Amino acid sequence: MLSDIVSLTNMVADNLNNENPKLVFKIYESLKDVIDKVDKTANHYLALDFSEEFLQNSSFGTPEMKWRYFLNEDLKSLNKSVKNYLLLLPHLCKENKSIIGFAKPLSYDSFVRDEYNVGFVEPCGMNLLIDQLNLKAKDEYCLAEFKKIDLSTYAKRKALMKHLEIQKGTLKSGLEKIKGFILKNISVEDLV
């Protein structure tokens, strides 16, 4: 989960230029928001074992139903944040170039806007379904990479939580690189 975002963030952080300082700052702010949402998703409802008191006797029904509802809400918020971030990245590229070399900018934007999803837990199950960018694809007709993560046990949910914590740490490293670039190359006058 989020491996595409981590890869793109590393690529962007290593190839910044100061041609558009306002855009670099927007990307910094957007990535900061993504990191906050990753933290909430990882630490709010994901790694519960369903014995928690607040999950019992709920109007949602079973503890699993309440857990699924609130985890999906966290995932919706994360998805919105990630989409905003992904839609900013192509603006760093030269005209008619794509953030991912094989995809035309319009195809990329359409996929991110209409199909991309960091994940959602299926309505009556315990699988997390993901529709992310396939960064290894050879053409723009294969932009989607589908994944399914089984969250049926506490150990599996805990493992995903740990994975998200690692991804968050990597994204924070990218954020620090972007921050360093901003501090070194961009003045306040460039941003106003």
- Provide the pLDDT for residue 189: 87
Domain membership flag for residue 78:
yes
**CA–CA dist 158, 103 (Å, integer):** 35
Q: Please tell me the predicted confidence (pLDDT) of residue 96.
A: 47
pLDDT of residue 40: 98
Model pLDDT for residues 57-100, shown as the tens digit of each residue: 999 999 999 999 999 999 999 999 999 999 998 877 665 455 66
Confidence category of residue 102, pLDDT binned at 50, 70, 90? low
Number of domains in the chain: 1
Query: What does the pLDDT read at residue 100?
Result: 64
The answer as to whether 108 is a domain residue is no
Q: Is residue 114 part of a domain?
A: no
Residue 118 lies in a domain: no
Instruction: Quote the domain boundaries for residue 64.
Output: 3-101+153-191
Residue 56 lies in a domain: yes
- Tell me if 165 is assigned to some domain: yes
**Do the domain assignments include residue 54?**
yes
Q: In terms of C-beta distances under 8 Å and separation of at least 24 residues, what long-range contacts does 173-176 make, across chains too?
A: 173/13, 174/6, 174/9, 174/10, 174/12, 174/13, 174/31, 175/9, 175/13, 175/28, 175/31, 175/32, 175/35
Quick check: 131 pLDDT over 60?
Answer: yes
